[in-house]
Amino acid sequence: MIESLSNSKVKYATKLKQKKYRTDTNQFLVEGEHLVEEAIKSGLVDHVFTTEDKSYEEVTVYQVSKEVFSKLSELNESTGFIAVANKFSSQDLSNNILILDGVQDPGNLGTLIRSAAAFGFKTIISENSVDYYNEKVIRSSQGALFYTNLLEENLIEFIHSHKEYTFYGTNVSLGTNLKEVDFIKEKIAIILGNEGQGLRTEIQNLVNTNIYILMLETESLNVGIAGGIIMYEVFERNL
């Protein structure tokens, strides 16, 4: 059992709580028994720390003291399970992609990843958004994150260099009613913006079509809900 807070594996894993180290190392932490088991199934896990007497096939498990666990953990209540996992991403883009321009709330990002998985958007591309590998993002994604191709790109350059996609922006009132949009193209990219500001104007100017979701006046939707509704429409119409 690892009891020393200065154990090198513990020190390394603790650093992964910071985005900087996740970026440098291409690794991240997964917390909670269910999520750790999902991550193991996905093949991304390198090793697991646990306060329990538990083993998994294929991955190394280190039993740790409660004190060590609480140093590793980002949650107030101990879940007893933390994995160090490898990021995976590929330049092979799926036919349907979700693009995020400055989504800041981890719960929104995680929910968007979960909905994207449900509706076959297997690639997500973001800029200026909260880190994909933030603990709350992973938790809200319910593990869908482990199976999604997650990329960070300069969105303006990406749009310019991927003319094979039709880019659909979102705007509260300008553009075409979602129900009237023709989604029959083979490669579809849905772009969602920041919770407060929406899409940057430079990006709105580059899209092929702006979509709005009809609703009662003076109201608005959470970006996760807007994204879920649009991806569902694309999914249903392309079956």
Helix (H) or strand (E) holding 167: strand 166-170
Element holding 71 (H helix, E strand): helix 66-72
Q: Which is nearer to a copy of itself, 13 or 230 (CB)?
A: 230
CA separation, residue 168 to residues 97, 123, 152, 182 (Å): 11, 15, 19, 11
Q: How far is the CB of 178 from a copy of itself (least distance, A)?
A: 8
Non-local CB neighbours of 158 within 8 Å, separated by 6+ positions: 99, 125
Relative to beta strand 27-31, strand 81-86 is antiparallel
**Residue number, 80 or 106, with CB nearest to a copy of itself:** 106
Count of beta carbons in the 10 Å neighbourhood of residue 44: 20
Q: How far is the CB of 121 from a copy of itself (least distance, A)?
A: 10
Residue 16 or residue 144: which is nearer to a copy of itself going by CB?
144
> Which CB sits closer to a copy of itself, 1 or 239?
239
Contact call for residues 156 and 101 (beta carbons, < 8 A)? no
Site for a copy of itself, rule CB under 8 A:
107, 111, 114-115, 117-120, 140, 142, 144, 179, 213-216, 219-222, 224-225, 228-229, 232, 235-236, 239
Tokens of 168: 């659909």
Give the bridge partners for 62, in sequence order.
49
Nearer to a copy of itself among residue 89 and residue 142 (C-beta): 142
Least Å distance between CB 55 and a copy of itself?
26
Of 22 and 198, the one with the shorter C-beta distance to a copy of itself is 198
- Give least dist CB 160 to a copy of itself, A: 31
**Closest distance to a copy of itself from the beta carbon of 119 (Å):** 6
DSSP state of 26: T
Q: Shortest distance, CB of residue 130 to a copy of itself, whole angstroms?
A: 15
The residue with tokens 């608005």 is 220
Q: Quick one: 10 or 150, whose CB is closer to a copy of itself? A: 150
- Give the torsion sign (CA, 16, 21, 25, 27): positive
What is the nearest approach in angstroms of a copy of itself to the Cβ of residue 152? 24
Closest CA to 79 of 43, 50, 40, 114: 50
